[in-house]
Amino acid sequence: VSPIKAAASAKNMRFGTAFFTGDTYLDNAYLGLMQEHCNVAVSENEHKWGDIRRNPPPEYRWQNGDTLVLWAQQNMIDYRFHVLLWEVEERYPDWFASYNWGTNEAAEAERLLTDHIETVARRSPSDFYSWDVVNEAVDNTSGAYRETPFSRRLGGMENVVELAFRTARAELPTAQLVYNDFMSWNSWSENHRTGVLRLLENMLAKGVPIDALGLQSHVWGPRSGGEEATWRAFLKEVTDMGLELTITELDIEDQQLSADIETRDQEIADTTKAYLEACFEFDQLRDVLCWGLVHRYSWLQTFQQRADGLQKRGLPFADDYRPTLMAEAILET
Ligand code: G3I
């Protein structure tokens, strides 16, 4: 396939991928694919609390994130930041369990969160154009707000989200500030979409500076056919609020697709094309990032296994770095 980034640029869009300091950064052929096809990159894990804040305060660890960002800069690849706050309890570093919150727990929670956002924002290159500020504040199945160490101390999730975005905006006046969630047209539930809409509506009503909804886009195959209309209606509601869209983590979960590789690759490509076409109806969408480029490094390999134990194939390049039909589908769309 010809460079996907060129096709994207021609539409004033970006195409890119996540990469990480383990396997992908050590794989020159993987980096070669990024140089050929990507004009934006994101760290899969290296900017999370689990890495930057792996150890208790006051330590910040910058090395892993810096390694990736430097490589992208040297290759003139834009960067987006993932993620200032992941509102899922299991994603908090272990030291939270024994953290001393002092006598005023709310004040300490506010200090800890704002210190993190200010420190990371001030330390980061000014050309990070897009930031995942909060990730997954809404429960996938119930659509309710999640409970986390911050939400319990700050009077609920809406207060956490508001504080995070206002702090981020003060530091990053011109960057695109993104609320990112596990959205696609079939992952997860109607409740989840309703919960996300409620959060966005309530935040915008209070003037909280959210610029975009990040559609993670871990898309499940096969399609039932019914998801397209629901998805368009959802994206219309989001964009009618004045929000931009960004596809932050595209891949296809193929555990329910065919075993035969040729058939499965076609199913994956068809799903990709249909999904992207529905999303591209909205001009507010400018970026498509895959959550990895090559099958063997994908988080999906360990997330759940196929019943037949075969490797999953929901990314645009095979393990020999040749494009799959999914790459062609992305390019065509
Ligand atoms: O780096 C350690 C290594 O030192 C250790 O030996 C090893 C043993 O388990 O773990 C390594 O860390 C793992 C890390 O990936 C790097 O491989 C973590 O355990 C593992 O939890 C982590 O998983 C990541 C997950 O987020 C949790 O942070 C996945 O790679 C990453 O793809 C996934 O990405 C998320 C997005 O951030 C948000 N949206 C959903 C998406 C998929 O779950």
Q: Are 79 and 47 in contact (CB under 8 A)?
A: no
Distance 48 CA to ligand 1 centre (A): 10
pLDDT of residue 55: 98
The domain that holds 215 is classified in CATH as 3.20.20.80
Distance 49 CA to ligand 1 centre (A): 12
Grade residue 112 by pLDDT with cuts at 50, 70 and 90: very high
CA separation (Å) from 290 to 171, 254, 259, 295?
28, 15, 23, 11
Whether ligand 1 lies within 6 angstroms of the CB of 301 is answered as no
From 322, 316, 289, select the one nearest 44 (Cα to Cα): 289
In angstroms, the CA 37 to CA 44 distance is 18
Distance 45 CA to ligand 1 centre (A): 6
* Tens digit of each residue's pLDDT (9 = 90 or more) over 263-319: 999 999 999 999 999 999 999 999 999 999 999 999 999 999 999 999 999 999 999
Number of domains in the chain: 1
Domain that holds residue 259: 4-332
Q: Choose one of 54, 180, 299 to mutate for the ligand 1 pocket test, by most ligand atoms within 8 angstroms of C-beta.
A: 299
* Tens digit of each residue's pLDDT (9 = 90 or more) over 207-258: 999 999 999 999 999 988 889 999 999 999 999 999 999 999 999 999 999 9
Stated pTM of the model: 0.97
pLDDT of residue 130: 98
ipTM above 0.90, yes or no: yes
Distance 244 CA to ligand 1 centre (A): 28
Whether ligand 1 lies within 6 angstroms of the CB of 216 is answered as yes
